[in-house]
Structure formats: C-alpha cells, structure tokens
Structure 1
Amino acid sequence: MRKIGLIGGMSWVSTETYYRRINSRVQIARGHDFSAPMVVESLDFNGLIRTTDKEAWKQAAEILSDAAKRLEGSGATAILIGANSMHKVYDEVAEAVSVPVIHIADVIGVKMKADGVRSAALIGTRNVMIEPWYRQRLIEHGVSLLPPDMARVDEIDRIIYDELMKGVVKRDAERTLKTFITNIDKTGVKAIVLGCTELDLIVDTNANILPIYDSTKIHADAAVDWILER
C-alpha cells in the first residue's frame, strides 16, 4: 500500500473523520489486520481561522506548503488538504511538492459526473460558497451551481465556525440545515454538495430529500483509492 499524507487540524473534528474513514475503508478492502499507511500534519488552526485578507492568505499558503513538504519528506506519495476552505491555496501547495495533491472539489466533480448529476447547490464556509476558485472547479466537471443565497451563507458560516469546528452539535443547527435543504429542493437542483468537512455532523447524508455529496467522505475515499493503487 502507498502512504498518504493529510494536512489536518483545520479543525481537529474533520481530521478525526478523515483518519477514521480512511482506516475503516482500508480494513474493508484488505481485512481487519490492516491499517492505512498514513502521516498526519496537524496544524494549529488558531493562526488560520477565518482567513480573509491577502496577506493572511499568503501566510496560510506558506504554512500549508511547509506542512506538505514535511509530509513528502516523511514518505507520503500523495497529499490531502483536510479542509475545503484551505483549497484556496491549493495551487501554491501543489507547486511546493513533487507528489500529487488531491483536490477535494475535483474528486467531488468526478463522482457527480459519473452519477450523471448536472445541477447542485453548494454549502460550506463563506469563501467556499461565494468565491469562484471552488465553484469553478465543480463547474469544470459539468455541474451547474445554484447562486449563493446570502442569508444562508451567513448562517451556515456562523454554524461552522462557532459550533461545528469546536465539536459542538446543536439540534437548532440540524433543523436549520434541514430547512435550507428543503428550500433548495424547491429550486429544482438535483443534489447538495457539502463543501465543508464538518457539515456531516448536522446533515444526514444517507437520508435526505436530495442526494448529498459529502466532501469529507469523497475526499477520504479518493485517498483510499490512492493507497490501494486502484
């Protein structure tokens, strides 16, 4: 099996999800005596949270690029960035290493295309929902995206940063996301993309009125495919 590298700690909640899913899927494929060859660079998210201005994003790119170099130096043959929002600096990170960096939006787009899904609503942090760098990656795979509703953007962003990234799961947040998804369904789109690695804490991805494309699970499964060289 090939070793995978994970840039985590943004937040630790999703890092735990990645670690658990990658290892459990490797065990399903190879047996319970196996675990994933994996190295994790868990960053201090305090210096990265709610990055906004140009200088802060430059610093974020440097922090993640250095982490990627350390992972490559530890023998990782491919790297994941365990946060949708931090894929804003994907290009800088990918240029810093000689091994592949698996883009989260690309693996989602590939899966949606394979499933024949051509329209969706994207929900996640503010920068994921409204900035072009993430949306365009999905569009390039033939997926048209519902324009962001700013009222939903503000509330989802608040829930993610103030609750989910701290490991806090509230019933009110679950009800809010259920209402949002119900309203999105009325627009006629065919799927929801969870563009945040913590949203599966409050969205039932297996029992919903629309198909849910969970970025964390899809990204982790792409890592498993790489590890198993499938």
Structure 2
Amino acid sequence: MTYPDPASTANPRTIGIVACSSEGAALCYRTICARAPALLGPHAHPEIVLHGASLADYVAALEAGDLAAVGAIMLRSAEKLAGAGADVLICPDNTIHAAISHVRPRSPLPWLHIAEVVASEARRRGVRRAALLGTRWLVDSSVYPDALGAEDIAFLRPEEEEKDEVARIIMDELVNDIHVPASVAYLESLIARMRDRGCDAVILGCTELPLVLSDQNSVLPTLDSTRLLADAALRYAVS
C-alpha cells in the first residue's frame, strides 16, 4: 500500500466519541484507527477522546420516554470531551439520536449526525426504499424518517413482533458481546422478508448489528451505520 506524505494532512482535528454501548463505541473507534493510515500514513490516526456514561442511565431515560434526560447525559459527555480537547463529536448509537434536538443547540462542539450520514450514503448509492433495523426506540422514532425524508428516500419498518425480536437480540445479546447463531439467522431471514416487501437496501440502524451482519450474509446491500459514521468523522478530521 502506498501512503501519503503525513505532512500533507498535518494536524487533523481531534474526534470526540460520545459512547453509549461499549460494543458500538469500540467498533467505531477501531474503524477510525484502521482506516486512518490510508490518509495519514502508517499507524497514524487523528487524536481520539472517548467518554461513556453508564448504559443503564441511558436505558432508564429511554424507558421513561424522557428524551430531555437522554440529551442531558449526552451533553455531559460533550462537556467532558470538549475539556479533553475534542473538535467534533460523534455518537456511535442510533437510538439516542432521538434526543439530538436537546443537544445540538447547547453543545460546546459540532456533532455529526449518524442518520444524516447514513441517509447521505443511501442517496449516493441510489437507494429507493430502505429497510430499517434497530431497537424499537429507534425504529419507532423520527430519527431515520427525518433523515431519509430529507433525501427523498422511502423506508420500511419491520412488523411489530419483528421489532420486538430485533430489540431483544440487540439489548440482551449484542450489547453484551453475545452472538447467538440462531439470532443471526433470524436477522438474516428478516432482511430477506424486507427484500420481499420491496426494500432495496437495509440500514443497520443499531451500531452493534454490523458485528453480525454485513454484505456477506445479507441478501440486501447493507448501510453500516457504525462504519459510515467512523468514515465521516475521519473525513471531517482531515478535511
């Protein structure tokens, strides 16, 4: 591999990661570090600072339907990351972006919005109707309808029992680094059903889903929210 002169991309911005689940944050962090050398040279990546509040605090606020409380937790992370030298913030968790309207106006730093990043990539690929997978909180929220609507892209949610099973797999298994073959098979079969319902791509709208789903085992092209966000952060950092 031929690497660029590091001097040509000197002083990249520092990326601040607002972590929610450890698995999604870790995958995002690893992706930035793995892909940065192609831009910055061998072993190089932008400085990265990460803060993670307890996942239980987020879950309690989500279960209470209190998006203002979710936003307050995100803002606490934002303040800590600003103090640690971050220049831009990303949150590798789709669900808590439902609180972003409580966050951006009071944030000390700019945010890259995960659903906006995914929707932009969907438009670039010519997606017409995307299947949306994620927690029930995410799938029933306006996070992706708003972002996809801005790009004139249609979407389809799973059926009610399917939402429940996907949410169970995410919250009981994937966020705890548990990968059950039967659960992966269920997700694969669900994507096939979504294809039969008219979808031409699938949004992996939970940052843990890319740990078990990819273009290799999905019958629909995948929009990997975790890695797309990492790529967007990297581009921002070196732009």
For 2:226, which of 216, 223, 226 is the aligned residue?
Answer: 216
Structure 2 CA distance for aligned equivalents of residues 207 and 151 of structure 1: 22
Scaled by the length of structure 1, what TM-score is found? 0.93
Structure 2 CA distance for aligned equivalents of residues 168 and 117 of structure 1: 31
The DSSP-based 3-state class of the residue aligned with 2:81 is helix
Letter of the 1:23 partner, please give it.
C
Structure 2 CA distance for aligned equivalents of residues 189 and 58 of structure 1: 33
TM-fit CA distance, 1:185? 1.1
Structure 2 CA distance for aligned equivalents of residues 170 and 128 of structure 1: 22
Letter of the 1:5 partner, please give it.
G
Structure 1 CA distance for aligned equivalents of residues 173 and 68 of structure 2: 26
Structure 2 CA distance for aligned equivalents of residues 216 and 208 of structure 1: 16
TM-fit CA distance, 1:201? 1.9
Q: Is 2:180 the counterpart of 1:191?
A: no
Q: Which residue of 1 aligns with 2:129?
A: 119
Matches within 5 A, 1:19-34: 19-34=29-44
Any conservation in 2 of the 1:80–1:103 contact (CA below 8 Å)? yes
% identical equivalent positions: 29
TM-fit CA distance, 1:88? 1.0
Q: Which residue of 2 aligns with 1:6?
A: 17
Scaled by the length of structure 2, what TM-score is found? 0.90
Letter of the 2:200 partner, please give it.
K
TM-fit CA distance, 1:132? 2.2
Note the alpha carbon deviations across 1:42-75, whole angstroms, 9 max, x for none. 2211211261224x43222111111112212222
CA RMSD, Structure 1 to Structure 2 (Å): 1.5
Note the alpha carbon deviations across 1:67-110, whole angstroms, 9 max, x for none. 11221222211100121011011122212224210000001111
Q: Which residue of 1 aligns with 2:173?
A: 163
Q: Which residue of 1 aligns with 2:210?
A: 200
Any conservation in 2 of the 1:119–1:146 contact (CA below 8 Å)? yes
Any conservation in 1 of the 2:158–2:194 contact (CA below 8 Å)? no
Gaps of 5+ in 1: none
Q: Which residue of 2 aligns with 1:16?
A: 26
Any conservation in 1 of the 2:15–2:89 contact (CA below 8 Å)? yes
Structure 2 CA distance for aligned equivalents of residues 180 and 66 of structure 1: 37
Gaps of 5+ in 2: 1-11
Matches within 5 A, 1:69-218: 69-218=79-228
Any conservation in 2 of the 1:173–1:202 contact (CA below 8 Å)? no
Letter of the 2:148 partner, please give it.
L
Structure 1 CA distance for aligned equivalents of residues 130 and 72 of structure 2: 33
